[in-house]
Amino acid sequence: MEWNQVKEVVEEIKKRTATPAYSLIIAVEKKPDIFSSKFGGVPYWDMKRDYPTDSEGNKLMLLAQLNLDRAEVEAPLPEQGMLQFFIGGDDVFGLDFDKPDEQNTFRVVYHEQVNYGITREDILALHPPVCTDEENEEYTPVFKEAVVDIAKNTVYMGIESYQFDKMFAEIVKEKFGTDIGNQTVYSVLDEEAFDKLAEEISNSGHWLLGYPYFTQSDPREYEEKYRIYDTLLFQMDSDYIENEDYVLWGDCGVGNFFINGEDLKRRDFSKVLYNWDCC
């Protein structure tokens, strides 16, 4: 296919899949505290609740938290409270490859209300594992605690989503009468056109909602039982700024958390699919 044809298909994909999402941007100049939207560090916690642990009773480490009181977000996200992501402290960052949707080695926690009377000292008394502590450095993708700013954007389905090849084929047939069958986009396009396409609708970076990015493949492509998790809840990509690592998933990978859209509307975070991969 010529690039002008591919470009036409891309514009149609954008029309069909455009959706609001929230970009998370590391703000290196800001100092984090326990109430910040941030990656890593000492978490906020509601002292009336039990601190999250894995199935063996080991305390989980904060991967990220998003203070929705201080962000301009809209449904289907909660418009207030604190959304947190915790992982187990092991060499696979709390991912159970056999049961990636059972929260035994990770946890997603939503606090409907934030108690701003809690202090850092209150939290430290719980002895939570912290990503920046020397003994945890090998067990977390977060190298440095960092505030994140939350900004609304429009995003489009990218080539990594398991539905992409099917949609691409449908649009090619509609517009040009060419049936490419079950071929992948990669096999249809030359390397230059494929790279242009990937760049045009890339979903790399850190996100709330939107479409996922992978360095390998979408786990829902080969396991139909995971397709109930139809909504990207949170994505954390590898990130290095001014030659300093802030986040690193293995060899420059990316982590994703998926939820069923109806569960998200109900504020039910008990069933979430966790995945990360790297090059």
Across the chain, the runs of DSSP E, i.e. the strands, are 19-26, 38-39, 61-67, 82-87, 106-111, 146-155, 207-208, 231-237, 239-241, 244-247, 254-259, 272-277
Cα separation, 202 vs 195, whole angstroms: 10
* pLDDT value of residue 147: 98
| Three-point CA angle 167, 24, 251, nearest 5° | 75
CA distances for 115 relative to 46, 119, 161, 274, angstroms = 7, 10, 38, 28
Using CA atoms, how far apart are residues 79 and 194, in angstroms rounded to an integer? 38
With 90 as the cut, is the pLDDT of residue 247 above it?
yes
In angstroms, the Cα distances linking 192 to 18, 71, 188 are 25, 39, 12
pLDDT greater at residue 131 or residue 101 = 101
Residues 120, 82, 103, 278, CA torsion sign: negative
Mean pLDDT of 218-235: 96
Burial label, 137 (beta-carbon count in 10 A; 0-12, 13-18, 19+): exposed
Higher per-residue pLDDT: 244 or 170: 170
**Residue 33 above 90 pLDDT?**
yes
Percent of the chain having pLDDT more than 70? 100
Cis peptide before 76, with omega less than 30 degrees from 0?
yes
Q: How many CA atoms lie within 13 A of 68 on its CB side?
A: 19
3-state DSSP assignment of residue 99: coil
Both tokens of 192, joined, read: 């230059």
According to the model, what pLDDT value does residue 242 have? 85
Contact between 218 and 232 (Cβ < 8 Å) = no
Say what the pTM is: 0.95
Alpha helices for the chain (secondary structure H): 3-17, 120-124, 164-176, 185-188, 191-200, 219-222, 261-265
pLDDT of residue 136: 83
Q: How high is the mean pLDDT of the chain?
A: 95
How far is 141 from 237, CA to CA, in rounded Å?
10
Structure token pair of residue 66: 């998003």
What average pLDDT does range 39-58 have in this prediction?
Answer: 96
Residue 255, pLDDT > 90, answer yes
Average pLDDT in the 175-193 region? 93
In this prediction, residue 279 carries a pLDDT of 85
Other CB atoms within 10 Å distance of the CB of residue 53: 14
Written as six digits, the tokens of 182 are 């079950």
> For residue 63, what are the contacts with CB-CB under 8 A and spacing of at least 6?
39, 40, 85, 86, 87, 106, 131, 140, 141, 142, 236, 255
Longest alpha-carbon distance in the chain: 66
* Distance in angstroms (rounded) separating the CA atoms of residues 245 and 141: 10
User: By the 8 A CB rule, do 180 and 172 touch?
Assistant: yes
What number is the average pLDDT over the span 203-230?
A: 95
For residues 160-169, give the mean pLDDT.
95
